[in-house]
Amino acid sequence: MNGREKIQVTVGFQPRIHGRLSQLAEQYEMTINEIVRECVEIICPV
C-alpha cells in the first residue's frame, strides 16, 4: 500500500470525518470515495 492509498483508507474510516463526508457527498452528489480521492489528489499529487 502506498502513501496515497494509506491516506484514502485512513480518512475514509474516521467516524467523525465519515459523517461530514456523507453530508458533503449528498450535497455534491458524489460518493465518499470520490471526495476522498479528490482530496488525496490535492494533498499528494502523483
- Cα-based distances in Å from 17 to 13, 24, 46: 8, 10, 24
For 19-30, what is each residue's pLDDT tens digit?
A: 888 898 999 999
| Neighbouring C-beta atoms of residue 21, cutoff 10 Å | 21
Give the start-to-end residue ranges of the domains of the chain.
Answer: 3-43
pLDDT digits (tens, 9 = 90+) for 1-46: 777 777 777 766 778 888 888 898 999 999 988 888 888 888 887 7
> How many H helices and E strands in the chain?
3, 0
Residue with cell 465518499: 32
